Amino acid sequence: MPQRSVAERPALTRERVVATAMSLADGGGLDSLTMRRLAEELGVEAMSLYYHFPNKNAILDGLLERTFAEIEDESGGFSTEASGDTWQQALRDRILGARRVLLRHPWVPAVMESRSTLVPTMARYIDANVGLMRSGGLSHDLIHHAMHALGSRQYGFSQELTLDGDGSSSPGDQDLARMAEMVPHLAAMLQEVVHDDPESTLGWCDDQTEFEFGLDILLDGLARRHAAEEH
Amino acid sequence: MPQRSVAERPALTRERVVATAMSLADGGGLDSLTMRRLAEELGVEAMSLYYHFPNKNAILDGLLERTFAEIEDESGGFSTEASGDTWQQALRDRILGARRVLLRHPWVPAVMESRSTLVPTMARYIDANVGLMRSGGLSHDLIHHAMHALGSRQYGFSQELTLDGDGSSSPGDQDLARMAEMVPHLAAMLQEVVHDDPESTLGWCDDQTEFEFGLDILLDGLARRHAAEEH
DNA sequence: ACCTGAACACCGTTCAAGT
DNA sequence: ACCTGAACACCGTTCAAGT
């Protein structure tokens, strides 16, 4: 890593810091995003970052801001009109768009959980979803319930817990045999799932099919309750 | 904190360590659970813990083990027969039981996320839920989808992101006025929700009503797809 | 077998100082 | 105005040593 002179080194701006933090997290996960490593990547001392940001959390907020800007881009703007579509279809498309962005930045859910602040672009995302449901005629009360029911799915991910320790391959026959003693029902289910689709990993993988299955149940249920609202 | 002699100090066992870790986390949150503080609480040096556990993660696994033992107790055992009830009702009751336990240990979801290992009592919990659905006649394929769709709700919590920075009180009129400019649809919804129920905190509170609303949409949807399975 | 003391390689951050 | 160097108060953990 060649030491560049101060003259040819680009100025340290908030944008450069956040962009570099993003590529650091994308490349090596959240753990690799430390103040010292981030500074090194920028060719600067760690303490210089504190001139531009009050603390590390402010940098994390910058990352969320940038993520939701990407989501807005992916959605072609945050429209509140379901032009041509039903509100369900429009909301579904937007959520799957958010999901595509999060799959590029898999560390984002962890940051969202650690930060309770609502960054502006994230607020605009939520606002757009409220507007979309409103345009479909849902009551504010039902929309409020909907936001809770969707939970993190609204942002394109769901909190699923992985079953296997190493996250590697499908279970072999002897793994299933050992499991059958302690967890017979689970083992029987996995035996069949693995047989039908050898590509599926053991259990709780948050893959596209499963994500859409859960999302569609929720959207269906909300539409059904909306219909009931209108008698 | 009086220094007790070795003689009168109870032996350092895995059980005592995990129990003390639990009360430490219950009292001061996960951040307060450090190896040094845990050792201090036990009247011992931090390094002594490494004689009984290979590392801190092993202690966290012990906490999960203990948590799911509490859940089993709360459920009166992990039956796989929905005696007298439908499978939906039995599953609903069990999940709400898990939730009651997690509300006593609010740091547990964070530990579950950080650990990808499946501790034995947790495996038995999942197994019991598979068995319960199986006793209701659901196919393994539908059960597999159900586990994904329920996600963390199965364990009694849902990943919801808080809206307000400080998690304190309801928004005042001037807060809503400022919000109205940037997020008009969201502000309008909250205005109405706050008006109807001044007790509700701003937005994403993971409270009982909202948890059950989302859970019931999912259970309804699963039952509906089960009915379709049977033509 | 069970526990300890000193040390290592990290963190985020404060503070006074440099240019 | 912008950046640095040294230091502080923490982490989890290793390693050799005590009893």
Q: What is the pLDDT of residues A97-135, one digit of tens each?
A: 999 999 999 999 999 999 888 899 999 999 999 999 999
Is the pLDDT reported for residue B30 higher than 80?
Answer: yes
Question: Which distant-in-sequence residues (6+ apart) come within 8 Å of B174 by Cβ?
Answer: none
Instruction: Say yes or no: Cβ of A44 under 7 A from any atom of strand D.
Output: yes
Please count the other Cβ atoms lying within 10 Å of the Cβ belonging to residue A21.
24
Is the pLDDT reported for residue B213 higher than 90?
Answer: yes
Minimum Cα–Cα distance from A206: chain B residue = B148
List all nucleotides in chain C with at least one atom under 7 A from a protein Cβ. Answer: 2-6, 10-16
Asked if the Cβ–Cβ distance from A149 to B185 is below 8 Å, we say no
The pTM assigned to this predicted structure is 0.90
Chain A within 8 Å of B229 (Cβ-Cβ)?
no
Q: How far apart are CA A124 and CA A132, in angstroms?
A: 12
- The three-class DSSP label of residue B164 is coil
Is residue A229 very low, low, confident or very high in pLDDT (cuts 50, 70, 90)? confident
Minimum Cα–Cα distance from A187: chain B residue = B127
Asked if residue A165 lies in contact with residue B118, where contact means CB atoms within 8 angstroms, the answer is yes
CA of B36 to C1' of D9 (A): 14
Same fold, A1-54 and A63-158+208-231: no
Is the pLDDT reported for residue B65 higher than 80?
Answer: yes
pLDDT at A230: 79
Interface of B with A in 184-203 (CB under 8 A): 184-186, 188-189, 192-193, 196, 203
Residue ranges per structural domain of chain B = 1-54, 63-158+208-231, 169-200
Q: What CATH architecture is A1-54?
A: Orthogonal Bundle (1.10)
Crossing angle, helix B140-150 and helix A208-229, to 10 degrees?
Answer: 80
Instruction: Say yes or no: Cβ of B40 under 7 A from any atom of strand C.
Output: no
- Listed range (A17-26, A48-57, B5-14, B208-217) with the worst mean pLDDT: B5-14
The tokens for A107 are 């560390």
Q: How far apart are CA B173 and CA B113, in angstroms?
A: 37
Q: How far is CA B45 from the centre of its chain?
A: 31
CA of A179 to C1' of C8 (A): 41
Mean pLDDT over each residue of chain B, to the nearest integer:
88
Residue type, A169: S
Instruction: Say yes or no: Cβ of B114 under 7 A from any atom of strand D.
Output: no
Q: Which of B162, B183, B225 sits opposite A116 (nearest CB)?
A: B162
pLDDT digits (tens, 9 = 90+) for A32-81: 999 999 999 999 999 999 999 999 999 999 999 999 999 999 999 999 98
DSSP string of A115-136?
A: -----HHHHHHHHHHHHHHHHT
CATH class of B63-158+208-231: mainly alpha
Is residue A7 very low, low, confident or very high in pLDDT (cuts 50, 70, 90)? very low
Question: Which distant-in-sequence residues (6+ apart) come within 8 Å of A117 by Cβ?
Answer: A61, B165
Q: Dihedral through CA A26, CA A31, CA A36, CA A37, nearest 10?
A: -40
Is the pLDDT reported for residue B204 higher than 90?
Answer: no
Helices (H), chain B: 14-28, 35-41, 49-52, 56-74, 87-104, 108-114, 120-135, 140-150, 173-182, 184-196, 208-229
The tokens for A224 are 């059904």
Q: How far apart are CA A202 and CA A191, in angstroms?
A: 10
Higher pLDDT, A159 or A3: A159
Q: Which of A116, A141, A152 sits opposite B165 (nearest CB)?
A: A116
* Residues of chain A contacting B167 with CB distance shorter than 8 Å: 116
Q: How far apart are CA B170 and CA A30, in angstroms?
A: 33
Probe site for chain B from A115, A189, A220 (most B CB atoms < 10 A) = A189
Please count the other Cβ atoms lying within 10 Å of the Cβ belonging to residue A167.
11
* Residues of chain A contacting B218 with CB distance shorter than 8 Å: 214, 217-218, 221
Asked if the Cβ–Cβ distance from B140 to A217 is below 8 Å, we say no
Taking the alpha carbons of A16, A34, B28, B109 in that order, is the dihedral positive or negative? positive
Residue B13: nearest nucleotide (C-alpha to C1'):
C2
Asked if the Cβ–Cβ distance from B218 to A217 is below 8 Å, we say yes
Residue type, A30: L
Interface of B with A in 90-109 (CB under 8 A): 109
Q: Which whole-number Å values give the CA distances from A116 to A31, B26, B167, B191, in the listed order?
A: 19, 20, 8, 21
- Structure-token match 């997020």, residue found: B183
pLDDT at B165: 39
CA of B117 to C1' of C2 (A): 28
pLDDT at B230: 79
